[in-house]
Amino acid sequence: MVTFGTTPLRFTPSTMSVSLERISDFLSTVPLFRELDRAAVRGFAELTREQKFAKNAVIVSEGDPGDALYVVRSGEVKVLLIAEDGREVILDVLGIGDHFGELSLIDGRPRSAHVVATQPSGLLVLRRADFRRQVEQSPLVAWGLMVELSRRLRQADGTIGSLILLDVPGRVAKVLLEHAGPGEGAPLVKQLTHQTISQMIGASRETVSRAMAEFQEKGLISVQRRIVTIVDRTALIARSRPKL
Amino acid sequence: MVTFGTTPLRFTPSTMSVSLERISDFLSTVPLFRELDRAAVRGFAELTREQKFAKNAVIVSEGDPGDALYVVRSGEVKVLLIAEDGREVILDVLGIGDHFGELSLIDGRPRSAHVVATQPSGLLVLRRADFRRQVEQSPLVAWGLMVELSRRLRQADGTIGSLILLDVPGRVAKVLLEHAGPGEGAPLVKQLTHQTISQMIGASRETVSRAMAEFQEKGLISVQRRIVTIVDRTALIARSRPKL
DNA sequence: TGCATTATGTGATTCGAGTCACCGAGAATG
DNA sequence: CATTCTCGGTGACTCGAATCACATAATGCA
């Protein structure tokens, strides 16, 4: 088994075919395709293959010539950079309905990051040529893609800002808020380990642990069986701002 | 005079009209429009107004409802976040041919950052509705826009990576390399003050100063009359990598 | 169910880099 | 061309956070 840094990686893709109707139904829930009519969605659905990946399987590697777009149908994947010394920076954690790989598709350059399954996952794969043809025929998809890229760019700029302006507890507060469920007192959407959080915000696992202990102690969050719930959203928001 | 943080800001826009031919010629050198034929470029040119801004003039403010795209025709502007405590994070420095403001144009959300002129500048302004109509008519522009957004996203992810993985001297080395002129021994493209560099990489002015002193001492760069030249590119690249 | 992982909690120590406080050198401007 | 500004250089001190070193608690398989 190959290992990159601390994560053991397995290479085990496998292809299977799934009902076209199910795929169409699923795709029409994805923001990127939501504006399209049934026929157009079906057009895309016909071009996909579903590929299954085991936990820790490498889906794409930085530097690869990328020529496919992936939509997460089940499971969870992380997008990450791996430094030469093995340290990992997690740029994003993607769940059902999220997609990745469009950058290489658009500009033809190599993949800019690794993507690894954090759970057994099923991904819909769309090849470059097929995708491009569809996009050229339907401006709606092009627009949707631009909206998605804009969202990510805003998010990335926000991340750069918080890396520079916030201390570690502030950055922890920010990730917690970003992954908060909708209502008051709802638990976080995803289960994030301290390790994962630390790799998302550029901190050590220990410091994240201490920050969360502090938040718990002060009643900002509560943790039960490793499930985090935001108790005092206002205070947490205050903690996620630069100190004056 | 209003001041945000340490930068004194003046609000002094003024509009003038310029020859359509000149504008067309200029626009056709901008990557975003490069693929278009003369007629299409002219279509865009007709929709622009040139606006002049004095040094330190605020062009757009974070939170504004943005409905225009700007192309830098002359001068230089910086894209920045301003924290409540006045600290500034410089996300990008844009020169002639660069453009900004497309995010709000695409997703209709408020401006995500401030843009301030660092030099007296002339900007071509394209209003949202006009731009959108043109984009819908020419898929080439849509594609070009996606290519540009991809480039920025890759750049932003790279920045996040270096903020997390590199120490301050490493990040300084990286900016220097990114602004290096093409040939060996050519000076940097832009004149960056230590202050500016420090705000781009999230460091203090003093630490940047010390890092550059070290680089000079070790013969990696040379500085004459505040103009930086890269002497030993290889060593500088080595310094811009995570240490093992 | 019991053992092997994997995740978390905490102290002690070290260190990179921020902050503060100046200094001198150039540049810009009236 | 003299005087402000702005920019860059450096020492001393402080502090947040990384690191190291274990201890303990959950989890998940076999």
Whether pLDDT at B55 is above 70: yes
For B66-114, the pLDDT digits (tens) are 899 999 999 999 999 999 999 999 999 999 999 999 999 999 999 999 9
Spell out the long-range contacts of A38-43 with Cβ–Cβ below 8 A and sequence spacing 24 or more. Answer: A40/A134, A40/A138, A40/A140, A40/A141, A43/A134
Instruction: Mark which residues 7-46 of B lie under 8 Å from A by CB.
Output: none
Whether pLDDT at A187 is above 80: no
Instruction: Mark which residues 130-149 of B lie under 8 Å from A by CB.
Output: 136, 139, 142-143, 145-147, 149
For A135-179, the pLDDT digits (tens) are 887 888 889 999 999 999 999 999 999 999 999 999 999 999 999
Measuring alpha carbon to C1', the residue closest to nucleotide D17 is: A207
Distance from CA of A70 to the nearest CA of B (A): 16
Biggest alpha carbon distance in chain A? Answer: 56
Q: Alpha-carbon distance B26 to B98, whole Å?
A: 12
Closest to B117 in 3D by CA, of B96, B86, B147: B96
The percentage of residues in chain B with a pLDDT greater than 70, rounded to a whole number, is 92
Question: pTM for the whole thing?
Answer: 0.91
Q: Alpha-carbon distance B61 to B67, whole Å?
A: 12
- Output the six-digit token pair for A211: 């920050």
Identity of residue A231: V
Q: Parallel, antiparallel, or unpaired: how do β-strands B114-117 and A14-16 relate?
A: unpaired
Q: Give start and end residues of each alpha helix (H) in chain A.
A: 20-27, 31-34, 38-47, 102-107, 128-137, 139-165, 168-178, 194-201, 205-217, 233-239
User: Does residue B90 sit at the A interface (CB-CB below 8 Å)?
Assistant: no
B207 touches strand C (CB under 7 A): yes
B81 contact residues in A (CB cutoff 8 A): 157, 161, 165
The percentage of residues in chain A with a pLDDT greater than 90, rounded to a whole number, is 75
For B125-179, the pLDDT digits (tens) are 999 999 888 888 788 888 999 999 999 999 999 999 999 999 999 999 999 999 9
Q: What 3-state class would DSSP assign to B101? A: coil
Closest to B63 in 3D by CA, of B90, B81, B89: B81
At A15 the pLDDT is 42
Q: How far is the CA of B150 from the C1' of D8 (A)?
A: 37
Q: How far is the CA of A213 from the C1' of D22 (A)?
A: 19
A81 contact residues in B (CB cutoff 8 A): 157, 161, 165
The percentage of residues in chain A with a pLDDT greater than 70, rounded to a whole number, is 92
